[in-house]
A and B are shown apart, each in its own frame.
Chain A
Amino acid sequence: MIRYAAILALLLPGLAIAGWEPVEGSKRVGPGKGDFSVQLPEAWLYDSSRHSLDASHDGVGLDRITVAITAHKKTFKNAKKESTPKSAPEDLAEDYIAELQAGPNALRDLVVVSNEPAELAGKPAFRVHLKYRAPESTGGAAMESVAIGTALNSGVMLATFEAPSIHYFERWIGKFDAAAGSITLSPPPK
């Protein structure tokens, strides 16, 4: 694990060169293409060059926040489920968990710690807290993630945070909840 962290720490400056930028003060950021913005934790690095927004403090293998809107037809592709703009948060939560358990990259030893109603971008949402084991190829660490999701006209908006259970999850979960709470369905001011 320590070796893994060291490798990622070495990679992080490389990520910054490849489009990752530091979060500055209270500046809201959004993805290159997509209509939402978020206040990310200060001093994290973020990548907004794609449809999604990715952010990390210590390296994406150690802590990672992702916010994305994915088309209804694609969000739960492995689980062979299709959401709609009217999908209830409870149904989305069920399909989200099924998606993680399906397909070639299905998560191992998945445990649902909690599954409860929440709010995202002012809309009724689900909040799912999961524990699982990372693939052996990446060290097989005990991982935790939280996903908050809601259905929009354009697709399913998901804000997720994942980190190893040891140290990193507890350290940053509060920052993730604050960031998720700041999401609005409008692009960042220019």
Chain B
Amino acid sequence: MGAALLAWVAPGHAITEQEQRARLLFVTREEEAHLEAQGLPYGDAALDAYLQSVMDRLYPERHGEYRVRALRDTEFNAFAVATGNLYIFTGALLRLRNEAELAAVLGHEGGHLVGDHMYKRTVESKSVARIGSALTLGLATTLSGLGALVNYSTMAGFSRDFEREADRTGFQRLTAAGYEPKVAAPLFDRMAREVTERKIKQAPYIFADHPKLLERVHNFATLAAGSPAGELRVNEFVAATQAARVAALEQIHERKDGAELIAVLGDDGRAAEFAPSGEFLLGEGYRFRAADGDESRALEHYTRSIEQYPDFAPAYGARGRLRARRGEHEAAMVDLERFVTLAPTAQETPYARQTIDRLKKDSSK
């Protein structure tokens, strides 16, 4: 709507830079208000304060000017807009492993702001309205709730030159702030792997498509080669973000997206970071995906969960259900009875009781 109104230009009137900037800010603010109305901000003041502290460490001279907030979305994404606001998805926090990786992401997005890339893209596109109507409709529909804000953000994509410039700025800030620079290349490598594993064709990711991600892996590996080591700050990162990360995991589980659960938790030791539910959720990922061999993998992870946390009810329920399906009736009943004992009021308990009754009837025949 805002973009449509702003498309009108009085005949013979040349738009000044000041007017063009005002238009860009106007439509961006309008779309940001839409984002608020959709209830997308995660809304944890302590988490936002932590994210802001990392941003301020990277860009101390922009303190109060660049503002970071978490958004409730499970994808691996972050973006900046011309108002100076940066948004990072809880799905990105879920996939990051330390503060240095978070700084690499925020540093890159900040690089777009420092480089004034949103405005420069507007100039290249001739008008704000054209950006709003022409760019990345697919992205806007993929990222439900963000609406046209996608088009005015760093997510809409930039030229390679702009991306390289943001990479360089982000990397300089990362090292200047004392963070470990070697984290950047493996981070983008993991992103590239997820794009491949989940067969994502149009990646709604900060760093766009697979070839660009691979180019970035190479760039960062080269940049980091001669740089001194820095801080990772794993504990600080986990303490500040764990609740949001677990919430994102639960959101994926609720959506029953097996491929995404496996992409997030499948690496060695990753599930253990989300105790007690990590191994169980990885098992659920294999159950949902249901490819060849996934049923056995699911059983393996449910069992690992039970071995590590003998009172964690969901793993018994899930393993019992799977064992019943495989015809292992005795073992299934043991698991389901344990589940009912541990979680008598759980949502799944009536079904567990139904399965126990069914198996008992079958075995008495």
Residues of A within 8 A of B (CB): 81, 86-91, 93-94, 98, 115-117, 124, 126
Contact = CB atoms under 8 A, between A and B. Distances in A.
B354 A90 contact: yes
A117 B256 contact: no
Grouping DSSP codes into helix (H, G, I), strand (E, B) and loop, the A interface class, with mixed when no group exceeds half, is: mixed
24 contacts: A81-B290, A86-B325, A87-B325, A88-B324, A88-B351, A88-B355, A89-B351, A89-B354, A90-B321, A90-B351, A90-B354, A90-B355, A91-B325, A94-B256, A98-B256, A116-B350, A116-B351, A117-B350, A117-B351, A117-B353, A117-B354, A124-B354, A124-B357, A126-B351
Interface string B245-277: 000000000001000000000000000000000
A146 B155 CA distance: 41
Chain B contact patch, size range: 10 to 19
Contacts of A126: 351
Contacts of A88: 321, 324-325, 351, 355, 358
B330 interface: no
A20 to B, nearest CB: 36
Contacts, number: 32
A117 B107 CA distance: 51
A126 B354 CA distance: 10
Interface of B: 256, 290, 321, 324-325, 347-348, 350-351, 353-355, 357-358
Grouping DSSP codes into helix (H, G, I), strand (E, B) and loop, the B interface class, with mixed when no group exceeds half, is: helix
Contacts of A81: 290
B354 to A, nearest CB: 4
Given A88-B351, A90-B351, 17 more contacts: A81-B290, A88-B324, A88-B325, A88-B355, A88-B358, A89-B351, A89-B354, A91-B321, A91-B325, A93-B351, A98-B256, A116-B350, A116-B351, A117-B353, A124-B354, A124-B357, A124-B358
Which 7 interchain pairs have the tightest Cβ spacing? A117-B354, A90-B351, A117-B350, A124-B358, A116-B350, A117-B351, A124-B354
A86 to B, nearest CB: 8
A117 B357 CA distance: 12
Contacts of B354: 89-90, 117, 124
